[in-house]
Amino acid sequence: MRHLAAIALLCPLLLVAGCGEEISDLNLNRSDAAGAENLIGQAMTDAEFALMRTDLAEQRDSYGRLHEALPPNSLRPALRFDPELLTGPTAGIANAEAQWSNPEKLSRPSDLNDLAFATIGQLGHLIRTRQVSCVELAELSLARLQAHDPQLQCVITLLPDKALAQARELDQLLAEGQYLGPLHGIPYGAKDLLAVPDAPTTWGATPYQNQQLEETATVVALLEERGAVLVAKLTLGALAWGDVWFGGTTRNPWNPEQGSSGSSAGSSAAVSAGLVPFAIGTETLGSIVSPSTRCGVTGLRPTFGRVSRHGAMALSWTMDKIGPIARSVQDCAIVFDSIRGRDLNDPTTVDYPFPYDGHRGLDGLRIGYLSGVFGQEYPGSELDADALEVLRAAGADLVPITLPLEELSADPYDIGFILSAEAGAAFQELTLSGRDDELVRQVRYAWPNTFRSAQFIPAVEYIQANRQRVELMAMMAQVFREVDVYLTPSLVGKSLMITNLTGHPQVVVPAGFQEGQAPHSISFVGKLFDEATVMAVARSYEQAAGWHKKHPPGY
């Protein structure tokens, strides 16, 4: 009978009635249990095993039946992560529209390649004043993607027909006096885990390289409504890990001998090389922050729930986030303003204002920095120290803070297997079918091994880890009672892990170069749903430091 032990707790009369199915077989012995006990750290007596032997067999049979009917990747579980679990509705966010600072004006150059590194604002001015057409910008991005992809390996599918048809329609709208806003006619690329009809959605992985999903991801649909032109689907490390996909390794434009990092590998490389003005990336645990750092571009990982994930590959239902990668903080803000908001197709989404002010200074803001981490020595630590001085010179009153990790019952890294458990469930069919062997990377930290290992994570421990996650959320609520924003080294310390678990927004900004012209970055973390403030602080640093204006040679 299926799980009679559990059923009997709820309705003992069911046992008397003898309903249910007989167990197929009881081929479970003491050594089977002993191996599991060793894995989970729980010792049982022979008598205890004898008592639960039938229960284990029932569970095994239920698992087998579930494996015969595994749902598609797009079906989410009946669980919802709420980043405001402890803090309640976020207060203090003004109900106002975003205000953009005026871009540096450009005139049409004799060679349109001179626009390769222009900002969204600058390109928008040229389009709005009819100095450059939408078709010309689309053709420029398509040509540059074709020219540089052989070296960078950042494109999975080029979309010339779709892009040029849309660009012609947008030019016609302008001729009729209709302007859709700052993204009208701006080309962009999308990480190829976002569904687009009539094009493959490969997830960067061999088993899915011919996959066609006849739906449109909400992010793509919103950008199209605002006039952005999708010119290419860009690479990601297979199933959103690293920079190796089924066609090769995506390269860093600053050093093509080096991978671009991942998993938003193509998005970061294409923006860095001036192939598209912006791209859409995703992050579950560093997949915007890391490649943005490696490629010397700006990235925004929004608050969990700010941007719909409908039509995106699911890796972790409680950690996946979608955000823009661009050449400047304001460019990221413009894109974010177009893709944020409530979507009935994604019940985790919320609708909060985004009162970004491109003219806002640092006055009145409480800005912290993780003094214990900045005080360490690590590659690039001197550049991070310089970033603090740049902010002080720009008028910031920086307050040293710490994340009170001593108040936690568990180390944040000890509950990081929440991601592994959810990813293992999202791709269980791939694992059980054996098609995980088709993935290019077969090393310890690549997904095939992680998915297999995840099958051994007890459900009880997954629940316990999520209970510890609540402590992390309480800790972060305490931190943001003291400051509005804090600075952290992008890839050093525990902030990246913590904030991906708690859902806080992070902006990563270029912050100089390490030896060998290797780009470096600094990161800003903000309150839940308060992207406006954290982006204002990040932009103040960006404008004072100027590193975002540096571009890789040869492009």
Query: Where do the domains of the chain lie, and which CATH numbers do they carry?
Result: 4-67 (no CATH), 112-353+362-405+469-548 (3.90.1300.10)
Residue type, 389: E
263 is known as an active-site residue: yes
Query: Torsions phi, psi of 512, nearest 5?
Result: 105, -165
Conformational region of residue 443, where left means phi above 0, alpha means psi within -120 to 50, and beta covers everything else: beta
Q: Determine the 3-state secondary structure of 81 from DSSP.
A: coil
- pLDDT tens-digit readout, 348-393: 999 999 999 999 999 999 999 999 999 999 999 999 999 999 999 9
Residue 17 has pLDDT above 80, yes or no: no
- pLDDT tens-digit readout, 237-275: 999 999 999 999 999 999 999 999 999 999 999 999 999
Under DSSP, the state recorded for 552 is: -
Q: Can you give the pLDDT at residue 350?
A: 94
466: burial class by Cβ within 10 Å (0-12, 13-18, 19+)? Answer: middle
At 80, is the pLDDT very low, low, confident or very high (cuts 50, 70, 90)?
Answer: confident
Q: What is the distance, to the nearest Å, from the Cα of residue 446 to the centroid of all Cα atoms in its chain?
A: 17
Residue 458 has pLDDT above 60, yes or no: yes
Q: Which residue has the tokens 């389009």?
A: 127
Q: Determine the 3-state secondary structure of 496 from DSSP.
A: helix
Instruction: Calculate the CA dihedral of residues 222, 224, 229, 232 and round it to 10 degrees.
Output: 70
Q: Can you give the pLDDT at residue 8?
A: 36
At 52, is the pLDDT very low, low, confident or very high (cuts 50, 70, 90)?
Answer: confident
Query: Torsions phi, psi of 76, nearest 5?
Result: -85, 155
Query: Rounded to an integer, what distance in angstroms lies between the CA atom of residue 318 and that of residue 300?
Result: 18
- pLDDT tens-digit readout, 469-498: 999 999 999 999 999 999 999 999 999 999
Q: Can you give the pLDDT at residue 6?
A: 41
Residue type, 546: G
The predicted model gives 11-27 an average pLDDT of: 45
Question: Which one of the listed residues 133, 263, 316, 328 is annotated catalytic?
Answer: 263
At 236, is the pLDDT very low, low, confident or very high (cuts 50, 70, 90)?
Answer: very high
What proportion of the chain, given as a percentage, has pLDDT over 90?
Answer: 81
The predicted model gives 138-149 an average pLDDT of: 98
- Listed ranges 93-107, 382-396, 444-458; the one with the highest mean pLDDT: 382-396
Q: Can you give the pLDDT at residue 59?
A: 82
Structure tokens at 8: 């009997």
Question: Which one of the listed residues 133, 141, 191, 290 is annotated catalytic?
Answer: 191
At 24, is the pLDDT very low, low, confident or very high (cuts 50, 70, 90)?
Answer: low
The predicted model gives 92-118 an average pLDDT of: 91
- pLDDT tens-digit readout, 493-550: 999 999 999 999 999 999 999 999 999 999 999 999 999 999 999 999 999 999 999 9
Mean pLDDT of the chain: 92
Q: Can you give the pLDDT at residue 9?
A: 35
Residue 22 has pLDDT above 70, yes or no: no
The alpha helices in 41-159, defined as continuous H runs, are 46-67, 120-128, 134-152
pLDDT-wise least confident of 54-63, 120-129, 402-411: 54-63
The string of DSSP letters for 153-172 reads --EEEE-HHHHHHHHHHHHH
Q: Can you give the pLDDT at residue 112?
A: 97
495 is known as an active-site residue: no
Contact of 323 with 300, CB cutoff 8 Å: yes
Pick from 157, 201, 204, 202: nearest CA to 447: 204
Q: Can you give the pLDDT at residue 93?
A: 79
At 23, is the pLDDT very low, low, confident or very high (cuts 50, 70, 90)?
Answer: low
Residues 6+ apart with CB under 8 A from 336: 300, 302, 306, 307, 323, 324, 354, 531
287 is known as an active-site residue: yes
Query: Torsions phi, psi of 523, nearest 5?
Result: -125, 150
Conformational region of residue 518, where left means phi above 0, alpha means psi within -120 to 50, and beta covers everything else: beta
The predicted model gives 173-198 an average pLDDT of: 97
Residue 91 has pLDDT above 60, yes or no: no
Q: Can you give the pLDDT at residue 190?
A: 98
Residue 15 has pLDDT above 80, yes or no: no
Residue 26 has pLDDT above 90, yes or no: no
Q: Can you give the pLDDT at residue 58?
A: 83
- Rounded CA Rg of the chain: 25
pLDDT-wise least confident of 14-18, 55-59, 516-520: 14-18
At 440, is the pLDDT very low, low, confident or very high (cuts 50, 70, 90)?
Answer: very high
Structure tokens at 213: 């999903």
At 92, is the pLDDT very low, low, confident or very high (cuts 50, 70, 90)?
Answer: low
At 90, is the pLDDT very low, low, confident or very high (cuts 50, 70, 90)?
Answer: low
User: Exposure pattern of 521-548 as b/e (b: 16+ CB <10 Å)?
Assistant: bbbbbbbbbbbbbbbbbbbbbbebbebb
Q: Can you give the pLDDT at residue 56?
A: 82
The alpha helices in 296-415, defined as continuous H runs, are 329-339, 371-374, 381-393
Under DSSP, the state recorded for 188 is: E
The reported pTM is: 0.93
Residues 6+ apart with CB under 8 A from 375: none
Which residues face 518 on adjacent strands? 514
Question: Which one of the listed residues 133, 287, 316, 495 is annotated catalytic?
Answer: 287
- Who has greater pLDDT, 2 or 147? 147
Strand 278-283 and strand 298-301: the pairing is unpaired
Q: Can you give the pLDDT at residue 20?
A: 42
Query: Rounded to an integer, what distance in angstroms lies between the CA atom of residue 247 and that of residue 170?
Result: 33
